[in-house]
Amino acid sequence: MAKDELQVLNALDVAKTQWYHFTAIIIAGMGFFTDAYDLFCISLVTKLLGRIYYYDKGSSSPGTLPPNVSAAVNGVAFVGTLTGQLFFGWLGDKLGRKRVYGITLMLMVICSLASGLSFGRSPTNVMATLCFFRFWLGFGIGGDYPLSATIMSEYANKKTRGAFIAAVFAMQGFGILAGGMVAIVVSGAFKVKYPSPPFEKNPNGSTVPEADYVWRIILMFGALPALLTFYWRMKMPETARYTALVAKDAKQAAADMSKVLCVDLEEEGQQEKPKEKKQSDFGLFSGQFLRKHGLHLLGTTSTWFLLDIAFYSQNLFQKDIFTAIGWIPKAKTMNAIEEVYRIARAQTLIALCSTVPGYWFTVALIDKMGRFRIQLMGFTFMTLFMFALAIPYHHWTLPHNRIGFVVMYSLTFFFSNFGPNATTFVVPAEIFPARLRSTCHGISAASGKAGAMVGAFGFLYATAGIGVQKSLIILGVVSLLGTFFTFLVPESKGKSLEEMSGEAEQENGNQTQTSHEIRVA
User: 209-230: per-residue pLDDT in tens?
Assistant: 999 999 999 999 989 888 888 8
What is the model's pLDDT at position 321? Answer: 65
Query: Is the pLDDT reported for residue 511 higher than 90?
Result: no
Instruction: Please state the rounded mean pLDDT for residues 419-445.
Output: 94
Are the C-beta atoms of 123 and 53 separated by less than 8 Å?
yes
DSSP assignments along 271-310, one per residue: PPPPSS--TT---TTSHHHHHHHHHHHHHHHHHHHHHHHH
* Rounded Cα gap, residues 153 and 149, in angstroms: 6
What is the model's pLDDT at position 516? Answer: 39
- Average the pLDDT over each of 83-97, 203-217, 481-495, 501-515 and give the range with the smallest value: 501-515
Please calculate the CA angle 108-114-118 and round it to the nearest 5 degrees.
140
Residues 299-357 have pLDDT tens digits of 999 999 999 998 888 766 666 666 666 677 888 899 999 999 998 988 888 888 888 89
Instruction: Please state the rounded mean pLDDT for residues 373-399.
Output: 90
- Average the pLDDT over each of 111-125, 312-326, 378-392 and give the range with the smallest value: 312-326
* Rounded Cα gap, residues 439 and 422, in angstroms: 19
CA distances from 283 to 84, 278, 280, 433 (A): 21, 11, 9, 10
Residues 131-158 have pLDDT tens digits of 999 999 999 999 999 999 999 998 888 8
Are the C-beta atoms of 303 and 489 separated by less than 8 Å?
yes
Q: What element of type H or E holds 518? A: strand 516-519
Tell me which residue of 144, 154, 220 sits closest to 183, measured CA to CA: 220
Q: CB under 8 Å to 71, separation ≥6 — which residues? A: 456, 457, 460, 461
- Residue 406 — very low, low, confident or very high, per pLDDT cuts 50/70/90? confident
pTM: 0.86
What is the model's pLDDT at position 518? Answer: 38
Q: What element of type H or E holds 264? A: strand 264-267
What is the model's pLDDT at position 263? Answer: 59
What is the model's pLDDT at position 499? Answer: 86
Query: b or e along 406-426 (b: 16 or more beta carbons within 10 Å of the residue's beta carbon)?
Result: bebbbbbbbbbbbbbbbbbbb
- Residue 164 — very low, low, confident or very high, per pLDDT cuts 50/70/90? very high
What is the model's pLDDT at position 319? Answer: 64
